[in-house]
A = this chain, B = another copy of it.
Amino acid sequence: MSESLTTGRGEAHFPARKIDVAVLGATGSVGQQFVALLANHPWFCLASVMASERSAGALYGELPWRMPAPLPNEIGRLRVEPAKPGVGPQLVFSAPDSTVAGEVEAEFAVAGHVVVSNARNHRLDPLTPLLIPEVNADHLRLLPLQREKKNRKGAIVTNPNCATIGLAMALGALREFYPKRVVVTTLQALSGAGYPGVASLDATANVIPFIDGEEAKMESETKKILGKYSGNGIEPDTVTISATATRVPVLHGHTESVSVELDEKAEATDILAAFRNFSGRPRELLLPSAPARPIVYLDQQDRPQPRIDSDWDRGMAVTVGRLRRCSVLGHKFVLLSHNLIRGAAGAAILNAELMLAEGFLN
């Protein structure tokens, strides 16, 4: 395993047959996105949907379904189960409400499940990988330590907050230029607040310049993601990030206006090349959810736009545009990522694919 991580050569462990998986918190917005993405997944078979007591017992197909594509019949026939550690598939995608996620995910991990979580509760835990496969695949090395120190057979792996991931991927692509200071303002989509989420009376023709906890998450999560694995933990990166998070009346796709201070030698052409050549483990390992290019740079001067650019590469690519000189920090650009796919369910599924291919699910 460590070989494959360091050499970048894939002794990838493709599954001989599909692996059963469960979704925990399957009725929420991210939970439904998990279900939609797992339908017809080449490696995973959705065998169990779990939710709170309130929904347990119902057929999944009887509950309101808010995704654009219709719910596949075979999934509609699954009966919603209460969250019960130790039962069902080993691999659990988790998107419960954060008020309960912390405890329940820990219980699943103790009971031997591998929990691939979108919840925020364990993201900053020193022994839990906060994973973006293109950026810090080697953070999976925390897992033996996590199992030992936390005395659990299973494990927890997390993905970043939906507003963090676009920024962390862009900075990951620019790592060779040592990002030092970042000022970022987000224009986040309504679906980032879940369902029912933002009231239409607040959202319509308006901007809400505040999202509770979001700015702190973007700052601390990015430092951890870009941090170095050191044998007994992750040393956070020294980059300084100042974020302002706003909500705008957009359905899907978080837009971010980013100013960044890089190593002085970085020229615009270098940065552009770094965005365009950015790749990483997912493509090496041919993971099924890996985008062809993790970052797609758009040349048009008025792009990316959330309504037309959120779905690049099935929502797994981050789009970037408007790279130009920042008179204060050196460089600035605009980025966009699909908050429910690359920023949530798709991120977790890519994490699980990486774990499988790298041998962490044995």
Contacts and interface: CB of A to CB of B under 8 A. Distances in A.
A208 interface: yes
Contacts of A242: 259, 326-329, 332
A182 interface: yes
Contacts of A248: 187, 207, 248-249
A294 interface: no
Given A200-B203, A334-B209, A183 B255 contact: no
Interface stretch (A8-16, A265-273, A305-313): A305-313
A231 interface: no
Interface residues of A, number: 56
B251 A201 contact: yes
Given A183-B326, A187-B246, A195-B199, A251 B209 contact: no
Contact of A306 (B187, B190, B206): B206
Interface string A302-324: 11111110010000000001100
10 contacts: A181-B328, A196-B199, A196-B201, A205-B251, A206-B250, A207-B305, A242-B326, A244-B322, A246-B255, A246-B334
A40 interface: no
A175 interface: no
Q: How many copies does the complex hold?
A: 4
Contacts of A327: 219, 240-242
A179 to B, nearest CB: 12
A196 B190 CA distance: 14
Given A199-B195, A244-B334, A307 B205 contact: yes
A249 B246 contact: no
A303 B306 CA distance: 24
A207 B255 contact: yes
Interface string A218-262: 010000000000000000000011101010111100010101000
Interface string A186-215: 010011000111111111111111100000
A185 interface: yes
A334 B187 CA distance: 13
A197 B195 contact: no
Contacts of A206: 250, 305-308
